[in-house]
Chain A
Amino acid sequence: MLDAIITILQVLIFPGVLFAIILALLYEWVERKFKARLQNRIGPLYTGWHGILQPFADIIKLWSKEDIVPAEADKTMFTIAPMLALASQLISFLIIPVVSVYALVHFEGDLALLAFLSTVYLIAAGIGGLSSNNRFSAIGAGRSIIQHVGYEIPLLFVYASAAFIAQSWSLSKIVEYQVKTGVPLIAFLGIGFGISIISLLAFIERIPFDIPEAETEIVAGWLTEFSGKKYAFFWLADDVQLLVGAGITAALFLGGPCGPVPGIPIVDEILYVIYFIIKTVIIVLILASIEASSARYKITQAVSGFWKYLTPLSILQLLIVFALRLYGVI
């Protein structure tokens, strides 16, 4: 009984849903502030310490807005899409190791589940775009799905390389392998790290791959008709997506939450969380600086770039891993 209550609390509060949402909103602040400084601006300033509460204020404001569903929209689908998007990302967060080597949910093959959940987010975007019955939304949804076709294959090849080294399709097992050998996988997967950063930019739909939401071209893409609470859901989903993406990348290449710890139960866990935050923030900063210093690609350029360069590179990465295994380096 107690175990069940503890599990529920873990899922709902720490390190589950509530923790994920708060951390995601803080990361949004980090990203906004960093980008603002790159652009010689100040960024959020007046809500809390250096505007740290600005993302929270934005969400609360959106929450209090009128809930509008367009008359011509498919109402059921239009309502389901935001929830599906947020739910898929929150579930993904449970699979990422944060407080210990093992995540809250871990089993053989959870890496495949993560890939599947990222597709669920895309499906939510597609449903949202197509059900809102707007030309810009439809174009945005279409672009979103086309882009997914581009980056999913190289990303999965990179996942496969990591899984092959650790001989397991479980994210937690891959982290455990890195703890055991003491070498983060970035040592063998340098190309893979680059590919996954680029794919991550496409996954979270940021410049240069914010093609499905391109503001100047198609208003807000598949998000055009969403407002109020539903938009807040998508906003949160987007932030959690950034956290999840950074978390997966940290776990695969940088050893997740692991680092030198003294071995005292509570202190260890606090240190793990701190390591996790440091590593993911570094990834967020890398993403933000790429985002701040490039222009938006066209959908044709993005997809052909993914197929022409990233897919062959990811296959090369896989071959390198095979070769390393063959010669017994790993």
Chain B
Amino acid sequence: MTIRIPVGPQHPALKEPERFIFYVEGEQIVKVIPRIGFNHRGIEKAMEERTYLQDLYISERVCGICSNVHTACYVLLVERLMNMEIPERAKYIRMIVLELERLHSHLLWLGVAFHEIGFDTLFYLVWRDREIVMDLLELISGNRVNYATNTIGGVRRDISEETKHKILKGMKLLLERLKYYRRLSPEEQTIVKRTLGVGPLSTQDAKRLCAAGPTLRASNVKSDVRGDEPYLLYKEAEFQTMVSDLCDVLGRILVRIDECIEAVRIIEWCVKNMPDGPIRQKLPPIFKVPENQAYRRVEAPRGELVYYGVSDGSEKPYRIKIRTPTLANIPALCKMLENQHIADIPIVVASIDPCFSCTDRLVFIDIEKGKKWSCSMPYFKHLIKKKFGR
């Protein structure tokens, strides 16, 4: 007998509204049907109505946790549209904030993952250690969540010698804790019981379903935008891509902790090698961008983030398209959940580090006929052709 269990839009396992319908036989899941679109905010449209500088702050609000990576991708996109070079020191500062953000995002996820399997003490302690990173980010940028450090042509705030010293001190403390979690997490019996072999995603499936980020790397695929197509200074920093061959939730936990350790190393490298010099190229607050189109991809904490932009010579972009990593991971998530137990739903859903407010797309639903459709790529190509004739 198959029972239909609706999870969401409101459920303690989900931190954001999203609906999954599970078809369950006994305790085992047979089929999953996701339904996105509860949190669509029309950000891409809002960006078309604002100037390039205003869009910077709109893009920062796409995601609540990885806010800085969105602005980083956006400024890289606009700089490519304008064929602009930024000062060296700005690159270092951008990388420090990006990696600090990755640390805070991964540590937040780690805490949530431990909470989902019922290990509340580690949840509290990991979040306590995360405060080190949050305090550093507040010190650098003046805010804990939306840092607003990136700007078109560089960064807005410099890092002083005293701040550098504090960063190094904080990183030393954090590294010790991270190594401790890395050593004990795969040893603790209850954690192993709940994560080893749970939510399996084979290498082939991960490639076939186009998973992204740590989910992909935990399935033993060496793919990281920082390594494959280095932006900023990741090439000079000798970035290493972390992979795990466990292909399950435990693998995803270990990959993320490894990435945190790597992030600490990159931050230390950046702080030690930072050159002196200007931090930004001055631009007027309202400026025009020549007719052009470009795309940029960066590695967000959750995976590959893609921005695609079309400018039409005015001070406002004609179109900005954002592809967030969670959207790419949803098909893989449905695959992972097959043949798992009901008890595994929270940890498997959490294992892709879902950010549903980034994911949500506009979905049209005809309630009477039960038909669903959404705007697809051919439709957008058609629109661009209509505008530019190419």
Contact = CB atoms under 8 A, between A and B. Distances in A.
Touch test A–B (CB under 8 Å): yes
Contacts of A38: 121
Interface residues of B, number: 29
Contacts, number: 72
B194 A219 contact: no
Interface of B: 3, 5, 11-13, 27, 114-121, 124-125, 128, 188-191, 193-194, 341-346
A238 interface: no
A153 B12 CA distance: 33
A298 B199 CA distance: 14
Interface string A12-34: 00000000000000000000000
6 contacts: A39-B124, A207-B118, A214-B118, A295-B191, A299-B343, A300-B341
Q: Which 3 A-B pairs have the closest CB atoms?
A: A296-B118, A295-B190, A295-B119
A135 to B, nearest CB: 6
Given A38-B121, A40-B125, A295 B114 contact: yes
Nearest to B193: A301
Is the contact region of chain B dominated by helix, strand, or loop, or is it mixed?
Answer: helix
A285 B151 CA distance: 54
A210 interface: yes
Nearest to B347: A216
A6 B128 CA distance: 54
Contact of A218 (B125, B128, B190, B342): B342
Interface string A211-234: 100111111000000000000000
B12 A296 contact: no
User: Which of A211, A214, A295, A301 counts the most chain B CB atoms within 10 A?
Assistant: A295
A306 to B, nearest CB: 14
A217 B7 CA distance: 10
Contacts of A135: 3, 5
A56 interface: no
Contacts of B194: 295-298
Nearest to B346: A216
Contacts of B121: 35, 38-39, 292-293
A216 B120 contact: no
A39 B125 contact: yes
Interface residues of A, number: 27
User: Which of A39, A211, A217 counts the most chain B CB atoms within 10 A?
Assistant: A217
B342 A139 contact: yes
B339 to A, nearest CB: 13
A296 B5 contact: no
Contacts of A218: 342
Contacts of A216: 12-13, 115-116, 118, 346
A294 interface: yes
Interface string A56-69: 00000000000000
A208 B27 contact: no
Contacts of B124: 39-41
A135 B6 CA distance: 10
Nearest to A146: B27
B118 A210 contact: yes
B191 A217 contact: no
Nearest to B349: A216
Contacts of B128: 40
Given A215-B12, A296-B190, A298-B341, 4 more contacts: A207-B120, A216-B118, A218-B342, A294-B189
Nearest to A299: B343
Contacts of B190: 208, 294-297
A166 to B, nearest CB: 35
Nearest to B194: A295
Nearest to B119: A295
Nearest to B344: A298
Interface in A279-318: 292-301
